[in-house]
Amino acid sequence: MLGNYDFKATNIVSKCSLYIAIVFTLFFYCSVFIKLLGKKLRTWFFLKFFAKNHIVICGAGDMGYALAKDILNKHQDKKLLVVDINPTNDNANSICTLGGYAISGNAIDKDVLNKLNITKAEKIILMTGKDISNLEILDAITKVIPEADKNDPDNEKNIYIHLESKENYEILPSIKRGGINIKAFSVYDNAAQTLFMKHPLGENVDTIDNDSVNLAIVGFDAAGLSVLYRALALGHFFNDKPLNVTIFDNNHEKKRAEFLKLYPISLKAGGIINWNIYFKDDGELFNKDGIENFNQIIFCKTNVQASLTDIARIIKNQSALLEKKQFFIFIDKHDGIKGIANDIKIEDTDVIPFGDFSQICSYDVVVNEIYDKMAIRADQRYNELHDPGTKHETKWDTLSPFLQDSNRMQVEHLPIKLKAINKLLSENRFLEYDEAKEKAQDKWFDLMLNGQKISDIKKIKLWDEINGAKILATYISLDDIEKLAKMEKHRWNAFHILNGWTTIPKPEGQNYPYRKDDNKKEHALLIDWDELEEASKYIKVKDGKKPHNYKSDDVETVMRAYDMIVSAFEDDKILQDESSIYCKEISEFKRKIDSIKNK
């Protein structure tokens, strides 16, 4: 009896356990089903009734997800809808969990665009991770929107398109339609921009006297290319030493060939080129003395773990060479690398993370363009100075990508100039202002034409209107101001060369046929600083305008240093914030000028 009883009891327990397991399994699958159904119903309800004045992101990869997360966490007044071609993308589920909406589909498809209610969207951001996909989606959208908005011409759409390759910017004018404002950007350019604004080229090098900046870039994909482009555009120093850049990549020959297709430039310093570029095998950096000659080493590999391992290997095997080196590591979506990098400190060596997607893919960066604040305001301020009496609203959106980038580079070179200016600013005046202005006019503004001196009085009078110009003119020697202006000229030349411009040959005994041709990308002034004054005599001028010495343009840029800063920032808080992208040279310069002004 007892044995039978035990057996029955055990049998009952087993059956109960089985039933409980079945119930829990059914409950689990039902809850998953209901959850999925709930998300689908929630999204259907949004698409049916509330999909208007919303933000649409095409692409829920690492970049699109970082942007979506930032919008949902920091801009909760925005309605967000994301579309991704992959129906099993976990990021789409995470976006729904955070309060957004997501659907799967190919955004090239007109039916999908209609489902997104794209014609009613406030902003459309294309971040699939592939240029060709983004361009195809853009083209599809431009065909849908004019059909929907042809009776509403004032309803302009803002479309933001991520383009990894700069040459693809040239395609945009052929795609653009009326009623659509297209803004191109690159996350990798954002990464390079933040890197060099916070840590200028040669930050740890004496670029005032005789030292050279020797830069290593490890890994040459999208991030490495953006870093090199900016380094070449910005690497122009007070001591006139060329920038030396070495690219380390395990496929360096192929990467060299690809680079020269994109930028058919000379790799060696000479003429108006002031850089030396070398491509070497990745392994050479890890030789016994591999890092010895480099001041700044930037790891840009697509595999962040590989970059971290490379740094660890260098620390282990070349520890005697680490003093006064700077290491930078591109971290993309790997926020946790920040803590690891910040913990690595050996002697005077820092490992500095940059390119965090949560920062460079944020709404404020992509849409509100906060990194361009100084460039936008500098452009507006330039127009105010040269056309006084006219109210100048910023026309940044109407500028071509080339002109926008031109303004950016002028502002981003400012920290390199300020490093020299901060050292050159004297405690006492070199000259009184009127005397400095008189000497400056003779040095940079006057031209001798047909035996007569032509004076551009209007240009020299601008100094009176430029914030801080009087102090720079009197507390820095004119010879040093000329060296700073030569830096600016080298920077201007480099930017144009990198963007495919060439010099117009001057016809013998005649004027230049034109100063510049935007379509041919030819410019008469793409020459050395010492040739500027003579070339200025042969530039045609419009009726009613006087010829002027084009040296004065580069000098003016130097004199606007303080003006650029104070016109963009009402107070010093953002400049002094350690988490901002602005380097210490900017706040130090402003402090010095303010101190002199308050004497």
Positions of E strands within 390-534:
447-449, 452-454, 502-503, 516-517, 522-523
Strand partners, 123: 55, 158
Residue 507 — pLDDT band, cuts 50, 70, 90? confident
467 token code pair = 């914030």
Write down the H helix ranges in 477-526: 478-498
Residue 131 — pLDDT band, cuts 50, 70, 90? very high
Please state, in angstroms and rounded to a whole number, the distance separating the CA atoms of residues 441 and 462.
12
Residue 48 — pLDDT band, cuts 50, 70, 90? confident
Residue 111: Cβ-neighbour burial (10 angstroms; 0-12, 13-18, 19+): exposed
Choice among 141-145, 332-336, 503-507 with the minimum mean pLDDT: 332-336
Residue 114 — pLDDT band, cuts 50, 70, 90? very high
505 token code pair = 């040959």
pLDDT value of residue 5: 46
Q: At residue 61, does pLDDT exceed 70?
A: yes
Residue 536: Cβ-neighbour burial (10 angstroms; 0-12, 13-18, 19+): buried
Q: What residue spans in the chain does CATH classification 3.40.50.720 cover?
A: 51-185, 201-360
Strand partners, 278: 246
- CB neighbours of 416 closer than 8 A, spacing ≥ 6? 200, 201, 202, 207, 234, 236, 237, 487
Residue 337 — pLDDT band, cuts 50, 70, 90? confident
pLDDT value of residue 27: 56
Please state, in angstroms and rounded to a whole number, the distance separating the CA atoms of residues 209 and 419.
12
| Fold type of domain 201-360 | Rossmann fold (3.40.50)
Please state, in angstroms and rounded to a whole number, the distance separating the CA atoms of residues 553 and 555.
5
SS3 453: strand
- CB neighbours of 554 closer than 8 A, spacing ≥ 6? 485, 486, 488, 489, 492, 529, 532
For the beta sheet containing 243-249, the strands, ordered from the edge strand earlier in sequence to the opposite edge, are 275-281, 243-249, 214-218, 296-299, 326-330, 349-354, 345-346
Please state, in angstroms and rounded to a whole number, the distance separating the CA atoms of residues 409 and 406.
5
Q: Using one digit for the tens of pLDDT, what is the confidence trace for 8-47?
A: 555 666 666 666 767 666 655 555 444 555 567 778 778 8
Tokens 């070449």 found at: 232
| Fold type of domain 51-185 | Rossmann fold (3.40.50)
* Average of per-residue pLDDT across 523-548: 87
SS3 503: strand
Please state, in angstroms and rounded to a whole number, the distance separating the CA atoms of residues 587 and 582.
8
Residue 270 — pLDDT band, cuts 50, 70, 90? confident
> Between helices 561-568 and 414-424, what is the axis angle to 10°?
120
Higher pLDDT, 215 or 335: 215
Q: What percent of the chain has pLDDT over 90?
A: 64
Residue 128 — pLDDT band, cuts 50, 70, 90? very high
pLDDT value of residue 8: 54
DSSP per residue, 188-208: HHHHHHHHHHHS-TTTTS-TT
Choice among 218-222, 380-384, 426-430, 591-595 with the minimum mean pLDDT: 426-430
> Between helices 478-498 and 433-440, what is the axis angle to 10°?
50
Q: Are 108 and 141 in contact (CB under 8 A)?
A: no
- CB neighbours of 17 closer than 8 A, spacing ≥ 6? none
For the beta sheet containing 516-517, the strands, ordered from the edge strand earlier in sequence to the opposite edge, are 502-503, 522-523, 516-517
* Average of per-residue pLDDT across 339-351: 69
* Average of per-residue pLDDT across 532-551: 84
Q: What percent of the chain has pLDDT over 70?
A: 88
Please state, in angstroms and rounded to a whole number, the distance separating the CA atoms of residues 167 and 499.
9
Q: Are 560 and 469 in contact (CB under 8 A)?
A: yes
Choice among 56-60, 115-119, 227-231, 445-449 with the minimum mean pLDDT: 445-449
* Average of per-residue pLDDT across 60-73: 96
Alpha-carbon distances of 8 from 1, 3, 319, 568, 597, rounded to whole Å: 11, 9, 74, 84, 98
pLDDT value of residue 46: 81
Q: At residue 464, does pLDDT exceed 70?
A: yes
